């Protein structure tokens, strides 16, 4: 009985209090979150397509909502999530090829994923507004 009591007090696995948060750990969590966000964004795309197929008034309503300031913020976030998730997938592809496992390379890839997603998102929206006029 005393052995079972002693075993019950030991942690079953390392806890977050033991680990120091690392950039690659946070990137893994953000990659999963952006994956979930892509489901939401895909739903928005489906709503837009169904509205386009339904009627002119439904399409105009959805365009008005998506074109509002809150809609643009949501679409900006969706585009960032898509680009960040894509770059995270490329980072994993590099790892799958057996490269980038060293501490410096892991940190560099994580930083490039963050910076690249921000730069590409801003560049995408600059192009969108330049074409839109």
Q: Name residue, tokens 């507004």.
A: 129
Q: Containing domain of residue 91, as a range?
A: 29-132
What are 15-27's pLDDT values in tens digits?
666 777 889 989 9
Structural domains in the chain (count): 1
- The reply to whether 12 falls in a domain is no
Sorted by sequence, the CB contacts under 8 Å of residue 78 that are 6+ apart come out as 37, 38, 40, 41, 44
Quick count: other Cβ atoms within 10 Å of Cβ 109? 24
The answer to whether residue 70 sits within a structural domain is: yes
Helix axes 69-96, 103-132, angle to 10 degrees: 140
For residue 119, being part of any structural domain is answered with yes
Single pTM value for the model: 0.82
Residue 21 lies in a domain: no
Residue 48 belongs to a domain = yes
Token pair of 102 as six digits? 């060293």
CATH number at residue 91: 1.20.1300.10
H or E element in which residue 94 lies: helix 69-96
Confidence of residue 9 (pLDDT cuts 50, 70, 90): confident
Residue 20 resides in a domain: no
């Amino acid at each position: 009985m005393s052995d079972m009591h002693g075993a019950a007090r030991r942690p079953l696995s390392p806890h977050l209090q033991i680990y120091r948060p690392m950039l690659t750990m946070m990137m893994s969590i953000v990659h999963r979150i952006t994956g979930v966000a892509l489901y939401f964004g895909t739903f928005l795309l489906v709503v837009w397509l169904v509205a386009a197929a339904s009627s002119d008034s439904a399409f105009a309503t959805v365009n008005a909502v998506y074109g509002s300031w809150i809609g643009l913020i949501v679409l900006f976030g969706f585009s960032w999530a898509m680009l960040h998730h894509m770059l995270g997938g490329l980072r994993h592809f590099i790892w799958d090829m057996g490269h980038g496992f060293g501490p410096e390379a892991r940190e560099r890839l994580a930083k490039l994923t963050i910076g690249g997603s921000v730069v590409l998102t801003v560049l995408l929206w600059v192009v969108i507004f330049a074409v839109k006029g």
